[in-house]
Amino acid sequence: MAELTLEALGWNEWFASRSGRCRGEDGVARVAAVGRDQLLLIGKPGFFRAKLSGTYLHEAEAALQRPCVGDWVCVEKAASDQFGIVHALLDRRTSLRRKAPGDAVDYQMIAANVDFVVVVQSCHYDFNLKRLERYLVMVKDGGATPLILLTKVDLVSPEVLAAQLQEIRSAGITDPVMTVSNVTKEGVEQLMGVLAPGKAYCFVGSSGVGKSTIINALMGRDVLATKAVSGSGEGRHTTVRRELLLLDTGAMVIDNPGMREFGVSVAEGGIKAGYADIQALASQCRFADCTHTREPGCAVRDAVAGGRIGADHYENFVKLGKESEFSHLSRGERRKRDKAFGRFIKSAKKDLDSD
């Protein structure tokens, strides 16, 4: 591989100003993939493998502090070395993360420093407005720009596709929407046209919606494993790790294992950006701290009652707000709330027994 420039990989003055611990640009690389005990990096020499230094492993105890796909790292590697040694992680300009599975307060990093997140849904079986809104909240909370991609348009009628597009716009979603057929390749050329050189695009969505097939089409060759589509039109997911790939056009794409559930962490900024129509009405509520759930004079609930805002759209907004608020609580606060609820249950049981 010919020598790459860091600028072609997304390097800019923002990262340069935060690279003081690196030994010049030759000591900088971008994370292309993360394995169990090593990283695949890409820098001026091309792709090479690296491991985290012992000091780094000792200091970066939290998973959030470990490199993920898209990160920039400081690395040392001589030409004769089999592995480079990573000793620092640069600040993240954008991030895509979700709440870790279970009751833990921790986050799970999906990708870092991506410019755009392509939220993929299948028109045929996977279209789900609530899930789409959830994805958009997390994308905007991390600072990236969302792009909605509807796949498998060849499996639905034009009327169904038009209805889905109208449903998206009726929910107040103004982000760009593109459509593509994984079979006829309709829309692939248009998608390729919006992927700019030096920018990173992270593809996310449920298993089987065709993310890997689309990326293979963009690459012009089969670099990601896919399996046959079932009789229902649902693909069988095979991606097992996140990986940054370079297109011939100079754009970068990141494939992801399927994620049907996308747990919300503390995402107040993303909720405000993702529900701009509701936020605009909130300024008309009687109370400045209105939660839009039970207060009198709530302009948001009035709009729902009058049909100006969809009930599902509103309910998802309330649900995401509660999830974000709960994620904000410390472990101690959660334990205190759980104990109080436990005492309430015991008291209620005693009252029933006494009757």
User: How high is the pLDDT of residue 301?
Assistant: 87
Strands 145-151 and 116-122: parallel
**Cα–Cα distance for residue pair 162/175, rounded to 1 Å:** 16
> Which two structure tokens, joined as six digits, stand for 229?
């589509």
Closest CA to 151 of 173, 124, 172: 124
Determine phi and psi for 48, rounding to 5 degrees: -155, 160
Closest CA to 87 of 53, 64, 113, 121: 53
> Which two structure tokens, joined as six digits, stand for 130?
């609530």
Q: Domains in the chain, start-ordered, CATH in brackets?
A: 7-89 (2.40.50.140), 95-255 (3.40.50.300), 268-337 (1.10.40.50)
Beta bridge partners of 255: 243
User: How high is the pLDDT of residue 139?
Assistant: 92
**Cα–Cα distance for residue pair 252/85, rounded to 1 Å:** 24
Instruction: Give whole-number Cα distances, 89 to 74, 109, 232, 335, in Å.
Output: 6, 14, 44, 33
**Cα–Cα distance for residue pair 208/211, rounded to 1 Å:** 8
CA 189 to chain centre: 24
95 contacts 68 by C-beta, under 8 angstroms: no
Residue type, 175: D
Degrees (nearest 5) of the Cα angle 217, 222, 223? 110
Say which DSSP state 83 is in: S
Beta bridge partners of 244: 254
52 contacts 61 by C-beta, under 8 angstroms: no
Closest CA to 171 of 130, 143, 116, 141: 130
Instruction: Give whole-number Cα distances, 338 to 64, 76, 231, 351, in Å.
Output: 27, 48, 46, 20
User: How high is the pLDDT of residue 13?
Assistant: 95
User: How high is the pLDDT of residue 349?
Assistant: 56
Residue 175, judged by CB atoms within 10 A of its CB (0-12, 13-18, 19+), counts as: middle
> Which two structure tokens, joined as six digits, stand for 295?
């207060």
Span 2-11, pLDDT tens digits:
568 999 999 9
pLDDT along the chain (355 residues), means of 10: 81 94 90 92 92 89 87 92 93 85 66 96 89 89 94 94 94 93 92 96 89 89 53 42 90 79 54 73 82 84 85 78 59 54 58 56
Rounded to a whole number of angstroms, the CA Rg of the chain reads 23
Span 313-354, pLDDT tens digits:
788 777 777 766 655 544 445 455 556 555 655 665 565 555
